[in-house]
Amino acid sequence: MHTLYDSETFSVTHMLANAEAIPQRPSGASKSEHHARGIPLLARHGFEIVDKRSGKEVYLDGSWAELFQQHIQAWQVNTPTQEEVEDTLEQYAGLAQNPVSVH
């Protein structure tokens, strides 16, 4: 987990998949036996965007995470202003439905 951005209004954290490498199946073991051992077959990562004003967060994974990753890559090439970053995060914050809770 890496915090990528933190301001008075937004926080962005890159959530890294912590899946273990999938070992070779023992000969004679079926695919379902391998999956039944609880070993994840697909490691995924995502981004958590917290809107501090509303106290809500959105987790982006899959195609949403890929789209957001493209924004990050573009920002690395052309350094944006804080206003440009906040405007982009505001668009994603519109998806936020989950209240932020501390455990």
Give how far Cα 23 sits from Cα of 28, 33, 43, 49, 82, Å: 14, 13, 14, 33, 44
Q: What is the pLDDT along the chain (103 residues), one digit of tens a residue?
A: 899 999 999 999 998 876 454 455 555 555 544 455 555 556 678 999 999 999 999 999 989 999 999 999 999 999 999 999 999 999 998 887 777 766 5
Interhelix angle 82-93/62-77, nearest 10 degrees:
170
Of 26, 91, 82, nearest to 64 by C-alpha is 91
Range of the domain at 95: 2-99
- b/e 49-83 (16+ beta carbons within 10 angstroms → b): bbbeeeebbbebeeeebeebeebeeeeeeeeeeee
Report the number of distinct structural domains present in the chain.
Answer: 1
Q: Structure pTM?
A: 0.71
Q: Are 85 and 75 in contact (CB under 8 A)?
A: yes
Please name which of 25, 68, 75, 78 lies closest in space to residue 45, comparing C-alpha atoms: 68
